[in-house]
Amino acid sequence: MTNRRDFLKKSAVLAVAAAGVGSASSALAGSQDFKKKTPVQEKKKKPNIVFFLSDQHRRQAMGFWKKEKYRNALNGTSDPVHTPFIDAFAEESVVLTQCISSTPVCSPHRGMMLSGMLPHANGVPWNCRIDREWGLINKLDTLGVVLSRNNYSCGYIGKWHLDKPEPNDPANPGKYIGESDPDWTKPLAHHMDSYTPPEYRQGFDYWYAYGTKDDHADPHYYDTDGKRHEPGVWATTHEVDMAISYLKNDKQQRVEGNPFCLFVSTHPPHSRYIEVRDTDPEMYDQFYSPEKIADAKSLLNRPNLGVDGLPIKMTYSTREPSEKSIAEGKGPSEDVARIYFSSVTGVDRQFGRLLQALKESGQLDNTIVVYSADHGEMLGSHKLMEKSVIYEEALGIPMIIRYPQKLKPSVNDVLMGSMDIMPTLLGLAGLGDKIPAAVDGHDLSGYLAGTADKQDKPTFAPYMLHTEQKGLRTDRYSFVMNREGEGALFDNINDPYQLNNIFNEETEIVKELGKTLGAFLRNSDDLWFQERINKDLIQYT
């Protein structure tokens, strides 16, 4: 087996710099025994954390934005979607209006979210896949590791997607787990699903997860002992069943009496969006079927729908998809909108069920509960589907945090990026002094609680597409350039649908943002800084 992740930060930087496929080799780290925990005194008990992570759930796709108190907080219109449980949850929470996925694609966001570190430092600069040599480095002090060290029980349920697939199927040694799938073709296909052995579980001692799999009606999972489960139930429904069991601790999944951190990472909403079995059929029938909505065009209300945008070199999403990709549910057909929004509503329904269970267990108010996603979904805006682009539909994610002991319900415009999530959670949990020195993100808990000095508020959140694009999201602008020096600048206040790229006109703003970007890349020891890429546009010194 390739010991790909047993290297430290500096060598990870160099490995990525050397073409993004550094295969490091040194002895594999021994797994830590996270189960050795001591019961803690009730009065000193830290809060639990329940982090509900959905997938291609764009920030605009939540029903509460239509309410008077939220309407002006969202830049541009929101989607006509039903999310009654998220809406009620938002009323009791801090709702962030400017949280972004710093690399809007699955694996890098997840790597940053758990490590608080830059993608080139944590080992996951782009999606993990069978033909790429990266995965989350297993010697880092990631969220689960830090919490475990502080007597938390840590559980992970659902999609992980932070490992390079290896031939390590527990039931078939030497085989990839994909080889047990009916649709498996050959080991060198662009396969992304994986089995995560215990030493790579990043402090999560309870495990019920998989790499990634787009057939949401037929999910599979590997439990703590490596046993495969195929429940034959829509993924989110089953994952919440498992999460409720974890909350009840009915199978001694965690140390009773100790605080716990539970991630429920659900793949929907995510392509494929082909047929009703891909979503929650009841929510589809109730709200989005042709009987309920005769013209699916009414679901797609953004003025940038189908409008040409950035040159193809600056987009990594699916543009004007082929008939094949439409057949695979990746095209901007109107039926896709029915499936997408009913997936969001189906996820909302399950999130509501989880909240209800948490409430019934008596633990709700001593729990930091988060609803978020790993990136958004273009859904036809700018003729694009999916993500991997700086447009707000892909970049903007839900970030709703309920923790009544510290947070008053409010709408908050603090700029949060993927790397800020881990230190902010530790800060909220009263573990701000345990944030590892290697963390690149910021603890924003003070801004959420209203106790931090507003003068120190972040002025930007970084945007990175591996070594190909670098940029920033500020309160007003979205700014990005590719290696060839082509750029985009959008004024999100005057142009919320990002129809006018003013990169070539607004040279003073580009210069100012180039200075900020240069300082960030220099401090990050980024490849672009090392090679002074676009040095005429980015002030590195």
Q: Interface with Ca ion by CB under 5 A: which residues?
A: 55, 106, 374
- How many C-alpha atoms does 212 have within 13 Å on its Cβ side? 25
Min CB(316)–Ca ion separation in Å: 13
Min CB(161)–Ca ion separation in Å: 7
Q: How many CB atoms lie under 10 A from the CB of residue 292?
A: 11
Residue with tokens 């009263």: 430
Nearer to Ca ion, 9 or 109 (CB): 109
Min CB(214)–Ca ion separation in Å: 11
Nearer to Ca ion, 106 or 336 (CB): 106
3-class SS of residue 261 = strand
CB-based closest residue to Ca ion? 106
Min CB(159)–Ca ion separation in Å: 8
In whole angstroms, what is the distance from residue 221 CA to residue 439 CA? 30
Nearer to Ca ion, 267 or 338 (CB): 267
Which tokens is 388 given?
């991997």
Q: How many CB atoms lie under 10 A from the CB of residue 532?
A: 13
Residue 415 CA: distances (Å) to CA of 101, 429, 460, 463: 11, 20, 6, 12
Q: At a CB cut-off of 8 Å and minimum separation 6, what does 352 contact?
A: 84, 85, 88
347 touches 266 (CB < 8 A):
yes
Nearer to Ca ion, 247 or 336 (CB): 336
Q: Over 67-87, what HEC string results?
A: CHHHHCCCCCCCCCCCCHHHH
387 touches 71 (CB < 8 A):
no
Nearer to Ca ion, 37 or 216 (CB): 216
In whole angstroms, what is the distance from residue 471 CA to residue 186 CA? 37
2 touches 133 (CB < 8 A):
yes
* CA proximity to 465, closest of 332, 317, 319: 317
Nearer to Ca ion, 160 or 447 (CB): 160
Alpha helices in 92-234 (DSSP H): 106-115, 119-122, 143-149
Min CB(30)–Ca ion separation in Å: 31
Alpha helices in 208-333 (DSSP H): 235-248, 281-283, 323-327
Nearer to Ca ion, 106 or 431 (CB): 106
Min CB(525)–Ca ion separation in Å: 27
Min CB(110)–Ca ion separation in Å: 8
In whole angstroms, what is the distance from residue 372 CA to residue 357 CA? 19
Min CB(362)–Ca ion separation in Å: 33
Min CB(35)–Ca ion separation in Å: 30
In whole angstroms, what is the distance from residue 129 CA to residue 343 CA? 25
Pairing of strands 399-402, 94-96: antiparallel
Nearer to Ca ion, 79 or 374 (CB): 374
Nearer to Ca ion, 106 or 145 (CB): 106
3-class SS of residue 199 = helix
Which tokens is 90 given?
């938002």
Min CB(211)–Ca ion separation in Å: 12
Alpha helices in 4-150 (DSSP H): 9-17, 68-71, 84-91, 106-115, 119-122, 143-149
Min CB(55)–Ca ion separation in Å: 4
Among positive and negative, which fits the CA dihedral 469, 502, 388, 63? positive
Nearer to Ca ion, 48 or 54 (CB): 54
Nearer to Ca ion, 81 or 106 (CB): 106
Nearer to Ca ion, 421 or 489 (CB): 421
* CA proximity to 374, closest of 139, 114, 145, 157: 114
Min CB(223)–Ca ion separation in Å: 23
